[in-house]
Amino acid sequence: MAQGINAAVNAAMVRALAEANGISIPDDRLDIVLKQYQTYLELLSQLDAFLLSREAEPSVKFELPTGGTAQAPGRR
Amino acid sequence: MAERDERKENEASRRSFLKSSATTLGGAFLAPLAEPAAAGPAGPQPPPQSGGPQSTGPRSGGLDLPSLTLASAAERLRTRQLSPVDLTQAILDRIEQLNPRVGAFITVIAPEAMAAARAAEQEIRQGRYRGPLHGIPVGVKDTHYTAGVRTTAASRVLTNFVPGFDATVVRRLKDAGAILIGKTNLPEFSFGGLTPGTNNPWDLSRNSGGSSGGSGAALAAGMLLGATGGDTSGSIRNPAATCGVVGLKPTFGLVSRYGIVPISWTLDHIGPMAKTVEDCAILLKVLAAFDAHDSYSVEVPVPDYPRLLNRTVRGLRLGTPPAAILSEFHADTQAAFREAVRVLEGLGASAREVTLPPSFELAGEAQTIVRICDASAYHRQYLKTQAAQYGPDNSALPPVSQVRTTVEAGLLLTAAQYLRAQQFRRVFVQECMEMYSQFDFFLSPSMPAPAGESATPRITFRAEYDLNGFPAISVPCGFSTSPPGLPIGLQISALPFRDAEVLALAHAYESATDWHRRRPAL
């Protein structure tokens, strides 16, 4: 799976994605950034192997449930 | 019958341990504490290779001032047996003597520190004692904004950045009367588990760990009495363990991140580092507070952490990692950890291996995606205008920036990929909550191996605690034998907002051993 994803990305794609994000990556850095990007894609591929229920919601605002000795975190 | 009575007694003791901070947190005045934890040298004895007490520091009335703990110095300051000016000067002298070899500081503000010490001295003389940090020399990681003082995050990108205000934690330390000595070293923008340029006081040929390595090394070398660090993937606990001091990563949201150069807004924790658990408790009491400037700050009562330290641990239930995971740690780390568990069992706690939930194996991956995406969003401003400036702000180091590569690649990830990791995170937190319902504390080694040694366990018990936000402390639990004399740390973690209990168990362990009394021979 990860190899399939990584085969589909290349330096030209890195350049295009970076420009879409408003940054310019010099030619001499494209390969090293590509390699790092592929590492992240491999991590994401491993995460994909962990099945989540379809109702699973992301925790964007990170508020801990208080199982400890304090009151629940207040909402603001 | 006797066995049943003993079980009842243990359970009553356990409930007492876990309840006493709830009383305080609920707003009632502190209930009478249980008897102090067992004291005395019940733990393993230090290896002969470990260094003896410091003896090279400036002395005052027979005291080796830089070797004092924060608590002992505070008591002497309060009772006017010690002057803040003398203490601060002794620390500055120590820094002048040792920092060229240790490299713990990026910036030392001697004139400002001496002025603050003189002001503290005057206040204390006039009877306006503010509390146990009054007159105490402290350092903060050079990610913390300091008004009028350069804040570089060890990067050339911020080499000329002079904040116009103090980070909330810096302001709180100053308001408590602490003397800011300087800014401690870190890897560029806190990225990494090593601190280039900071040598480990126990073996100057090895690194201090990171990313709060300057704080850890400064404490171990007697160049500070208290410090702060930042922990996104273990960066308080790593240098604490590696340098033989104590470091607490508090519950996420308990200590403000406002005015701190971030790695990740949803993973960064700021916390105390010190020579002892008691000193960490004193610092945490000042650092912990709701801060409206920090969007993840939580509004919870802050207990009197130092007063909650002394409790019996009899009857407490401790969880430990599966043997298969533990076997992947360095042999000396395994041995020290097992001995630490035996010490706590000797104090009356019970320990058993627990099965980790399936999400534990992938928490590191999810933490990486969240961390990198958050960091990339922050760094986009610099990548657009100052990309060529990335690199360590230290001409003695190679001008290579892994940070730039990391965040450039991170910017290519999509929002959907980021949210996938955040979905996982929520499940992970829930599974951790369920796991922790089986015991009161979970113990693990703080680091896979001592400084500069190699071990690569599948689960390291570091970044996982930044992803779930649970409190976790590293306390010294021994020294390596091969190679000899390198510190090893014990990590104690618990459910969210059980920071007081984590400190209390760490204090009980510390009181039963003498690892924290060892100092490197510099």
Which residue, among A59, A71, A75, would best test binding to B if mutated, counting the most B CBs under 10 Å from its CB? A59
For the cut 80, the answer to whether the pLDDT of residue A67 exceeds it is no
Confidence of residue B343 (pLDDT cuts 50, 70, 90): very high
Chain B's closest residue to A73, CA to CA, is B298
DSSP symbols for B77-112 = HHTTSS-HHHHHHHHHHHHHHHHHHH--EEEE-HHH
- For range A37-59, the mean pLDDT: 92
User: Which member of B424, B426, B437 has the closest CB to residue A50?
Assistant: B424
User: What is the spatial distance between Cα B229 and Cα B186, in angstroms, rounded to a whole number?
Assistant: 10
Closest-CA residue of chain B to A63: B296
Cross-chain CB nearest to A58 (options B413, B423, B495) = B423
- Which residues, including other chains, have CB under 8 Å from residue B94's CB and lie 6 or more apart? B57, B58, B66, B221, B222, B223
* Cβ separation A68–B296 shorter than 8 A: no
> Do A67 and B298 make contact, defined as CB atoms within 8 angstroms?
no
- Which chain A residues are within 8 Å of B419, Cβ to Cβ? 58, 60
Q: Which amino acid is at B414?
A: T
Note the pLDDT of residue A56. Answer: 87
Q: Which SS3 state, helix, strand or coil, does residue B199 take?
A: strand
- What pTM was estimated for this model as a whole? 0.91
Q: Is the pLDDT of residue B184 over 60?
A: yes
Residue carrying the six token digits 């273990």: B234
B359 carries an active-site annotation: no
* Structure tokens, B57: 């520091």
- Across the interface, of B372, B426, B494, the residue whose CB is closest to A58 is B426
Say whether pLDDT at A62 is over 80.
no
B299, B362, B423 ranked by CB distance to A73: nearest: B299
Residue of A nearest to B379 (CA): A23
pLDDT tens digit string along B303-339?
999 999 999 999 999 999 999 999 999 999 999 999 9
Reported as a single tens digit per residue, the pLDDT across B230-272 is 999 999 999 999 999 999 999 999 999 999 999 999 999 999 9
Q: What is the pLDDT of residue B40?
A: 33
What is the rounded distance in angstroms from the CA atom of residue B485 to the CA atom of residue B500?
A: 31
Q: CA-nearest residue of chain A to B429? A: A64
Cβ atoms within 10 Å of B110's Cβ, excluding its own: 15
Q: Is the pLDDT of residue A73 over 50?
A: no
Please tell me the predicted confidence (pLDDT) of residue B63. Answer: 85
Residue with the larger pLDDT of the pair B193 and A61: B193
Distance CA B480, CA B58 (A): 30
Contact B405 A46 (CB under 8 A): no
pLDDT value at position B19? Answer: 65
Q: Residue A30: its chain B contacts at CB < 8 A?
A: none
Q: Residue B113 half-sphere exposure, CB side, CA atoms within 13 Å? A: 25
Per the CB < 8 A criterion, the answer to whether B463 and B448 are in contact is no
What's the gap in Å between the CA of B24 and the closest CA on chain A?
Answer: 9
pLDDT value at B27 more than 80? no
How close is the nearest chain A Cα to the Cα of B328, in Å? 21
C-alpha B484/C-alpha B476 separation (Å) is: 15
Q: Is there a contact between B315 and B12 (Cβ–Cβ < 8 Å)?
A: yes
- Chain A positions touching B495 (Cβ under 8 A) are 67-68
* Residues whose CB falls within 8 Å of the CB of residue B217, separated by 6 or more in sequence, listed in order: B102, B103, B104, B185, B195, B198, B199, B200, B201, B208, B223, B239, B243
Sorted by where each starts, the structural domains of chain B and their CATH numbers stand as 54-365+416-517 (3.90.1300.10)
Helix (H) or strand (E) holding B445, with range, is strand B441-445
* Residues facing B270 on adjacent strands: B230
Cis bond upstream, residue B483 (ω within 30): yes
pLDDT reading at B511 higher than 60 = yes
**How crowded is residue B391: how many other Cβ atoms within 10 Å of its Cβ?**
20
> Per-domain residue ranges for chain A?
2-48
d(CA B146, CA B148): 6
Question: Is B205 known to be catalytic?
Answer: no
Q: Which residues contact A56 (CB under 8 A, 6 or more apart)?
A: B423, B426, B427
pLDDT at B51: 39
Q: Which residues from A are below 8 Å from B498, CB to CB? A: 68-69
Q: What is the pLDDT of residues B367-409, one digit of tens each?
A: 999 999 999 999 999 999 999 999 999 988 888 899 999 999 9
The confidence score (pLDDT) of residue B216 equals: 98
The yes-or-no answer on residue B211 being catalytic is: yes
Tokens describing residue B258: 């406002």
Percent of chain B with pLDDT over 70: 91
CB distance B270 to B257 below 8 Å: yes
Contact list in A for residue B362 (CB cut-off 8 A) is: 46-47, 49-50
Burial of B458 per CB tally in 10 Å (0-12, 13-18, 19+)? exposed
Could you tell me whether strands B63-64 and B137-141 are parallel, antiparallel, or unpaired per DSSP bridges? unpaired
The predicted pLDDT at position B30 comes to: 24
Per the model's pLDDT, the better-predicted residue between A65 and B141 turns out to be: B141
What is the spatial distance between Cα B236 and Cα B229, in angstroms, rounded to a whole number? 5
| Interface with A, mutate which of B369, B372, B373, B408 (most A CBs under 10 A) | B408
Record: contact B292-A67, CB cut-off 8 A: no
The residue of chain A nearest to residue B435, with distances taken between CA atoms, is A67
Q: Which residues of A touch B389 (CB under 8 A)?
A: none
Considering the candidates B67, B208, B211, B212, report the single residue annotated as catalytic: B211
Mutate to test the interface with B, among A1, A5, A13, A23 (most CBs of B within 10 A): A23
Cβ neighbours of B396 (radius 10 Å): 8
Asked if A46 lies within 8 A of B424 by C-beta distance, the reply is no
Inform me whether the pLDDT recorded for B35 exceeds 60.
no
Instruction: Determine, for residues B413 and A63 on separate chains, whether the beta-carbon distance falls below 8 Å.
Output: no
Q: What is the pLDDT of residues B425-435, one digit of tens each?
A: 999 999 999 99
Kindly report the CA angle at B224 between B223 and B227, in degrees rounded to 5? 140
Tell which residue, B111, B129, B191, B205, has the closest CA to residue B410.
B191
Which phi and psi angles does B144 have, rounded to 5°? -85, 125
Asked if the interface predicted TM-score (ipTM) of this complex is over 0.90, the answer is no
> Among B253, B359, B412, whose Cβ lies nearest the Cβ of A73?
B253
- Region B72-81 average pLDDT: 98
**Cα(B340)–Cα(A6) distance, rounded to whole angstroms?**
45
